[in-house]
C-alpha cells in the first residue's frame, strides 16, 4: 500500500472510531424530556394544602355563567367542584368559565360523567387540576381514572391541544402528573365491598364517601346501622391505605375527613340573601351528594 493510501486509511479510521463509545467508559444517560429537570413546580394549591394535612373545601358549580364561576372561585374555597355528572354543562361551557377566571384562588376540579378517555381527556385539556370520578365499583374503573388522567409513564393520557398550557405554564407536560389529583367516589355497597382493592390502585389521591348515593343504593339512611357500617368501612380502608378521605361538608367534624364538597350556587345565594336581610342563614353544608 502506498504511503498516501496509508495516510488516508488512517484518517478514515480515526473519524469512524471517534464516533464509537470507548470501551469501559460509561456514556452519560439521556435525560427524559417528560420529567422536570429540577424540583417540580406545584401550582395545585388545593393538593398542596391537602397533602400538608389540612382540610380543603370545594364549592359546587353547576351554572355555565362565567361571572358566577368567578364569584365562586374568589369566595374563599380551595377548589371548585365543577359538576358535569348531574348538570347540562358542556366542556365548551367549562373551558370558557375556567379561562375567564384564570389566576383565581380556587383551582378547578371536574366531576366527569364517567372514567372514560373522552371525558377525562377533555377535562384535563381544558385545565382541570382534579378529576373526580363517580360511582366507582371496581378496581378496573379506578385504574381507568388514573390511566386517563396522567401522562406517560404513569398513565396513558394523550398530549394534544388545549388551554392547559395557557393556564398553568410552558412546563405543564413536565409538572402536571404531580399536580393532578384523582378523586374516586365510592357510592354503592359493591364499591364498599371492593374498597380495599380500589384503595390499593396507584395514583389515587382521595376516596370520597358519597353520602347521598350510599343511601340511594343501599336503601338505608344516614344514622341507620347498615348505612353507618358502610361509611365506617370506607373510612377505615382509606386511612389505612394512606389516602385522603372525602365527604360532604356536613361531615366536616367526622374524624379523618379532610376533603369536602361544599354547597352550590343556589344555596349560597339563598344563604347570602338571608344574611343580608337579617334572617338566619340556612343549609350551609349542602351539596349534590
On the 0-12 / 13-18 / 19+ scale of CB atoms within 10 A, 142 is: buried
Q: Are 193 and 57 in contact (CB under 8 A)?
A: no
Q: What angle do CA 275, 276, 281 make, to 5 degrees?
A: 15
Grid cell at residue 139: 378496581
Please report, to the nearest 10 degrees, the dihedral formed by the alpha carbons of residues 109, 114, 120, 122 taken in order: -90
What is the set of active-site residues? 86
Where do runs of H (alpha helix) occur along 19-116? Answer: 45-51, 66-73, 91-100
125's CB contacts (< 8 A; 6+ apart) are: 160, 161, 162, 163, 164
Strand 79-83 vs strand 130-133: parallel, antiparallel, or unpaired? unpaired
Instruction: From 179, 143, 154, 152, select the one nearest 164 (Cα to Cα).
Output: 179
Grid cell at residue 253: 367534624
Instruction: From 205, 148, 201, 199, select the one nearest 179 (Cα to Cα).
Output: 205
Amino acid at each position: 500500500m502506498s504511503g498516501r493510501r496509508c495516510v488516508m486509511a488512517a484518517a478514515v479510521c480515526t473519524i469512524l472510531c471517534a464516533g464509537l463509545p470507548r470501551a469501559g467508559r460509561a456514556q452519560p444517560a439521556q435525560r427524559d424530556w417528560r420529567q422536570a429537570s429540577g424540583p417540580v413546580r406545584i401550582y395545585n394549591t388545593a393538593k398542596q394544602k391537602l397533602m400538608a394535612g389540612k382540610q380543603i373545601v370545594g364549592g359546587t358549580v353547576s351554572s355555565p355563567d362565567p361571572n358566577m364561576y368567578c364569584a365562586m372561585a374568589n369566595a374563599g374555597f380551595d377548589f371548585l367542584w365543577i359538576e358535569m355528572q348531574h348538570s347540562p354543562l358542556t366542556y365548551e361551557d367549562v373551558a370558557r368559565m375556567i379561562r375567564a377566571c384564570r389566576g383565581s384562588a380556587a383551582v378547578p376540579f371536574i366531576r366527569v360523567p364517567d372514567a372514560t378517555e373522552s371525558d377525562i381527556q377533555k377535562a384535563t385539556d381544558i385545565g382541570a387540576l382534579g378529576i373526580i370520578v363517580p360511582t366507582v365499583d371496581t378496581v378496573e374503573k379506578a385504574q381507568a381514572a388514573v390511566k386517563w388522567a396522567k401522562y406517560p409513564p404513569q398513565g396513558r393520557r394523550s398530549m394534544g391541544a388545549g388551554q392547559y398550557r395557557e393556564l398553568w405554564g410552558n412546563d405543564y407536560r413536565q409538572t402536571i402528573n404531580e399536580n393532578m389529583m384523582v378523586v374516586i367516589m365510592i357510592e354503592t355497597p359493591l364499591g364498599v365491598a371492593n374498597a380495599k382493592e380500589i384503595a390499593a390502585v396507584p395514583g389515587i389521591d382521595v376516596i370520597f364517601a358519597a353520602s347521598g348515593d350510599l343511601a340511594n343504593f343501599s336503601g338505608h339512611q344516614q344514622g341507620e346501622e347498615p348505612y353507618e357500617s358502610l361509611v365506617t368501612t370506607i373510612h377505615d380502608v382509606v386511612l389505612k391505605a394512606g389516602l385522603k378521605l372525602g365527604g360532604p361538608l356536613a361531615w366536616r367534624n367526622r374524624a379523618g375527613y379532610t376533603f369536602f364538597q361544599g354547597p352550590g350556587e343556589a344555596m349560597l345565594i339563598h344563604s347570602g340573601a338571608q344574611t343580608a336581610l337579617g334572617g338566619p342563614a340556612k343549609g350551609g353544608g349542602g351539596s349534590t351528594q
